[in-house]
Structure 1
Amino acid sequence: MKNTYTEIKIKVSVNDLEKIENIFYRLGVFQLSIEDPRDLFEKSYINFDTYFDEDEIFTEGRNVCIVKYYLSDKENPIEFLNILNQMICSEKINCKIETSEIFEEDWANNWKKYYHTFKINDKIVVKPEWENYNLKNGEILINIDPGMAFGTGTHETTKLCMQLIDKYMKKDSFVYDVGTGSGILAILSSKLGARKVVAIDLDKVSVSAAKYNVSLNNLSNIEVLEGNLLDKASEKGDLIVANIIAEVIVDLIPDIVKILDREGIFITSGIIESRVDLIKSKLSEYGLDIFDEVNENGWFAFAIKNK
C-alpha cells in the first residue's frame, strides 16, 4: 500500500509571510515549501520552470506567497489544521488554506523540483544529492538530502547560522549542534575543521536524516544522537550552535552556560524581531553577551560569548 501525505497549501499576502512562518515554527514545523513572487519578479537569475508552478504564481499575482507543508499518514491532519486555523485567527492573518491528498513518491518529486544547488557565500556551496556541481578552488561543498527534516540551507535562519559558523569556527573545535535537523550545520562545522561534532535532535526523523547526510559527505567526526543537550554533553563545547525557535532557546540558555567553554562561542538563530528582546534579556541574566548580530527578512542570528 502506498504511503500518502496531506498537502496543506496556504495562500497569503507577502506582508504576512513572516507571520505564517513563525506560526509553523511555534508548531515545531521547519520544513516548508515557499513560493515567493518577489523572487520571481525581482531576481533575474530565478528559473521560471524549475522554481515555480508558473500558472499558480501568475494567477495569484505579485503579492501572494504560496506556502506548502506535508503531513504524513501517521499524523492527524484534522487536529493539526484545527490548531493551525486557531493560531492564524489569533494573529488576524487573512489567508486561504487548501488541502489535498498525494502519494509519497509524488510529494518527493514535487518537493525536489524546488530545491537546487546554491551558495551561502563565496565559499560555501549547498548541493542536493540529486544534482551535479563542479567544485571550484577554495569552495566547500555540502551534499544534502533533508527529506522531512529542517535544514535545507535556504531559510534565512540556516543561512545566517552558516555565515556565522564560517566566520567564527576555529580549527580543532569541539562543536555541539542542538536541534540538528538535516545535519547541515554539523556538516559545515566538520568541513571547516572541527575536531569533533555532536549533533543532537529530539526528532527521530531528523536523527535519521542527519545520519544519512553525514554519510553522504563521507565524514567520520560527527556523532548524531537522539535526545536533548544536557543529557548528551560529554565535554565543554568550543562552539555551540542552535537553530531553533526563541522560546526553546530561552529554555536552553541555562544548559548552554554549563557546557560552553569559557572562551567558547554560542551561535543561535530562529529568532524573529519580536522575540529579540526576550533572548537578549535571558542571555544577560546568565552572563552571556552578544558580540555579533546579523539579520535578514525579519530573522535574527547572534554570536554570543561569556562576558
Structure 2
Amino acid sequence: MENWVEITIHTTNEASEIVESILLDYGSTGVAIEDPTTLEENLHDDFGTIVELSPADYPEVGVIVKGYINELNFDEETFKRFEAELLALGENINIGDFFKIETTIIQDSDWENSWKDYFDILNIGEKFVIVPTWREYENTENKYIINIDPGMAFGTGGHETTSLCIKNLEKYVQRTDNVIDVGCGSGILSIAASYLTDGNIKAVDLDRLAVDVSFENFALNNLEKRIEVDQASLLTKETKKYNIIVANILAHIIELMIDDAYNLLEDGGYYITSGIIEEKKDELLEKMLERGFKLVEETSDNGWYSFVVTK
C-alpha cells in the first residue's frame, strides 16, 4: 500500500491560488482549501448544502491549503525545494506572518476517504450547482448540474475566481455563441458554457494532466463529443474567432494573451477573465484598455477580481 504526504499550508487568501498552483506543479493529486469565509457563508446557506461543519476545523485568519503527494515523489530534498519556493513568494505577495508548512503521512486507504470530506454540493450563481460524483443530489429547482470528480485535481469550482467566471458566463453567453476556455483546468467553465450556448465550445490547457482531467469530467457530464479539448499554450494555436473567451488564470498569464484575445474575439464579443489579485488589477486593466478593449464590468469576491471586456 502506498503512503501519501498531506501538506498543510497556512497562508493568506491572496496567496492561496499561487500556493495551489505550486502544489500541483509538485505532483499533488488534488488540493483542498479551508476558508473560514466559506464556512460562514454556508452556515447560513438556504440550500443546506454543507452540514455539521465545525468552525474549529478552520483557521481564525487566512486559509489552509492542503495538498496530497505520493510519498515516493516527495523526499527531503524535494520538500526543501518546495519550501524555498513557497517562502520566495513572500518577496512579491503577502503570504501572512502566520505562514506555516506542516506535513503528515497518511495511508492510501485513509486518503481515499479523507479527500472526499472536503467537498460537498455547491450552488453558484442563479442556475448552477456543482455536484461531486459521490454525492446524491435531487434537482428540485431545475438547476444546471455540473458533475465533477475533484479527486482528479484542480478543485471543484469553490474558489472565488471560478465562481466569478461562472456568474459572468451566466450574464454574457448567448445561445449561438462560440466559446473557448483558456487554461481549462478541470473543465468546469466549459461544462457551464455547454448549458448556455448551442455554439462550439473548446477547452485548452498547456498541462497534459489538465487536458486529461477535463476530458474525464466532460465524459462524466456526457459532453465528451460536445466539447473539443486540446493541449495548447493559451491562444497561440487558434485561428478561428470566438464570441466568448474565458480565462481563469493568473494576471501575468492573462497579460501574455491580451493581443491574441483581442485579435480572436468577435466584434461585440466578451473576454471574461479572473484570477486577478487587487495589486495587479489596475495595471492589467490599463494594458487591456490600451490594446483597445472596453471595460463592461468589474466584479470581485474576497480579494479576487474578474474583468469582462469587449471590443
**TM-score (ref. length: structure 1):** 0.86
The aligned runs of 1:95-114 (5 Å cut-off) are 95-114=99-118
Bigger shift: residues 80-89 or 35-44: 35-44
3-state SS, counterpart of residue 285 of structure 1 = helix
Partner in structure 1 of residue 7 of structure 2: 8
Listed as ranges, the matches of 1:15-164 within 5 Å are 17-24=12-19, 27=22, 29=24, 32-40=31-39, 43-45=43-45, 47=50, 49=52, 51=53, 56-57=57-58, 62-63=60-61, 65-72=63-70, 73-74=72-73, 76-88=78-90, 91=94, 93-94=96-97, 95-164=99-168
Question: Any idea what SS the aligned residue of 2:197 has?
Answer: coil
Gap runs ≥5 in structure 1: none
2:84 corresponds to which letter in structure 1? Answer: N
Relative to structure 1, the CA distance from residue 27 to residue 288 in structure 2 (aligned partners, 3 Å threshold; closer, same or farther) is farther
Residues 304/151 of structure 1: CA separation in 2 closer, same or farther (3 Å cut): farther
Distance in 1, Cα, partners of 2:211 & 2:108: 20
Conservation of the 8 A alpha-carbon contact between 1:25 and 1:245: no
Q: Which is worse superposed, 223-232 or 289-298?
A: 223-232
* 8 Å Cα contact 1:20-1:88 kept in structure 2: no
Q: Deviations over 1:247-293 (max 9, x none)?
A: 00000111111211122111000001111112111101210111111
Superposition CA RMSD, Å? 2.6
Query: What CA distance in whole angstroms lies between the structure 2 residues aligned with 1:238 and 1:104?
Result: 45
Say whether the 8 Å CA contact 2:121–2:129 is kept in structure 1.
yes
Distance 1:34 1:229, change over 3 A: closer
Q: Closer, same or farther in 2 for the Cα pair 1:19/1:293, shift >3 Å?
A: closer
Alignment size in residue pairs: 296
How far off its partner does 1:105 sit? 4.4
Which residue is equivalent to 2:205? 201
Structure 2 distance, partners of 1:289, 1:23, is: 28
SS class of match (1:212): helix
Q: 1:82 to 1:6 in 2, by over 3 A?
A: farther
Q: Select between 178-187 and 101-110 the one with higher mean Cα deviation.
A: 101-110
In 2: Cα distance, 1:41 partner to 1:169 partner? 31
Q: CA deviation at 1:26?
A: 6.8
Q: 1:5 to 1:289 in 2, by over 3 A?
A: farther
Q: Which residue of 2 aligns with 1:232?
A: 237
Give the corresponding residue for 1:213: 217
The equivalent position to 1:302 in structure 2, one of 298, 302, 307, is 307
Equivalents in 2 of 1:283, 1:191: separation in Å?
A: 29
The aligned amino acid for 2:234 is L
Identity of aligned residues (%): 37
Question: What code does the residue aligned with 2:96 have?
Answer: I
* Distance in 2 (alpha carbons) for counterparts of 1:151 and 1:262: 33
In the alignment, the residues of structure 2 paired with residue 229 and residue 56 of structure 1 have an alpha-carbon distance, to the nearest angstrom, of: 38
Structure 1 148/86 Cα, relative in aligned 2: closer, same or farther at 3 Å?
farther
Check if 1:275 corresponds to 2:280.
yes
CA distance in 2, matches of 1:105, 1:232: 42
The normalised TM-score by structure 2 is 0.85
